[in-house]
């Protein structure tokens, strides 16, 4: 009886897998491409949609609602984009460039993708990976940590000149005094 139940379960599972593999399946990745996210500097978000199914996905729509207009300004790209279809075994990508308008912590949540797994099938919903919470650095802090500090180094060099020049002058006087003494002696 147990053996019959296992065989029946395996057959039902394999037929379910065969049905699901004959349709499209989308995997969506969302990545923040910047090493540092800084207020009022470009922030690039890259989306990649993979079709790992055996049939094309049709009426694919990527919608990004996690960047409110009060906190981000869209510089380039679209927050909602459509593809007629994505062939099996292929991928498509999309990028959007934003300017964060204020600093602080921000939760980069998932983007929503809707598609039809088959031409006459129902609309399915998929969500992208979520990069998670990240800090948006203020421009002042970024400049403090990552600028070349040319003025600071210039002032430091000017302050080092007296400490280097004074011993050099003392050495040169004594050296020239003894050199002149050697020349007179010979």
CATH number at residue 90: 2.60.40.10
In a domain, 7, yes or no: no
pLDDT at site 74:
92
Token pair recorded at residue 164:
């280097």
pLDDT per position as a tens digit, 107-119: 889 999 999 988 8
Can you name the residues that pair with 57 across neighbouring β-strands? 86
CA 59 to chain centre: 27
pLDDT at site 184:
62
pTM: 0.69
User: N- to C-terminal Cα distance for the chain?
Assistant: 121
- Domain region containing 160: 148-185
The label of the residue with tokens 């060099």 reads 157
Q: Is 84 helix (H, G, I), strand (E, B) or coil?
A: strand
Is residue 105 domain-shared with residue 32, that is, in the same domain? yes
Residue 32 has pLDDT above 50, yes or no: yes
> What is the Cα gyration radius of the chain?
33
Is residue 99 domain-shared with residue 58, that is, in the same domain? yes
Is residue 58 domain-shared with residue 107, that is, in the same domain? yes
Is residue 163 domain-shared with residue 110, that is, in the same domain? no
The rounded distance, in Å, linking the Cα atoms of 177 and 186 is 15
Evaluate whether 28 touches 129 at the Cβ level (below 8 Å): yes
Is residue 99 domain-shared with residue 67, that is, in the same domain? yes
The rounded distance, in Å, linking the Cα atoms of 102 and 110 is 21
Is residue 87 domain-shared with residue 153, that is, in the same domain? no
Residue 128 has pLDDT above 60, yes or no: yes
pLDDT at site 182:
64
Q: What is the mean pLDDT of residues 169-177?
A: 85
The rounded distance, in Å, linking the Cα atoms of 164 and 171 is 11
Is residue 140 domain-shared with residue 152, that is, in the same domain? no
């Amino acid at each position: 009886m147990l053996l019959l139940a296992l065989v029946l379960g395996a057959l039902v599972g394999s037929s379910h897998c065969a049905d699901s593999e004959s349709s499209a399946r989308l995997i969506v990745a969302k990545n923040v491409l910047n090493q540092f996210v800084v207020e009022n500097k470009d922030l690039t978000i890259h989306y990649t949609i993979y079709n790992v199914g055996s049939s094309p996905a049709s009426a694919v729509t990527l919608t990004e609602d996690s960047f409110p207009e009060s906190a981000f300004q869209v510089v380039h790209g679209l927050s909602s984009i459509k593809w007629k279809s994505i062939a099996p075994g292929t991928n498509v990508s999309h990028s959007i460039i934003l300017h964060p308008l204020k600093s602080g912590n921000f939760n980069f949540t998932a983007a929503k993708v809707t598609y039809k797994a088959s031409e006459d099938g129902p609309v399915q919903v998929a969500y992208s990976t979520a990069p998670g919470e990240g800090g948006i650095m203020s421009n002042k802090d970024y400049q403090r940590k990552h600028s070349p500090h040319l003025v600071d180094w210039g002032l430091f060099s000017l302050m080092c000149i007296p400490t280097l020049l004074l011993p050099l002058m003392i050495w040169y006087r004594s050296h020239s005094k003894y050199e002149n003494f050697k020349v007179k002696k010979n």
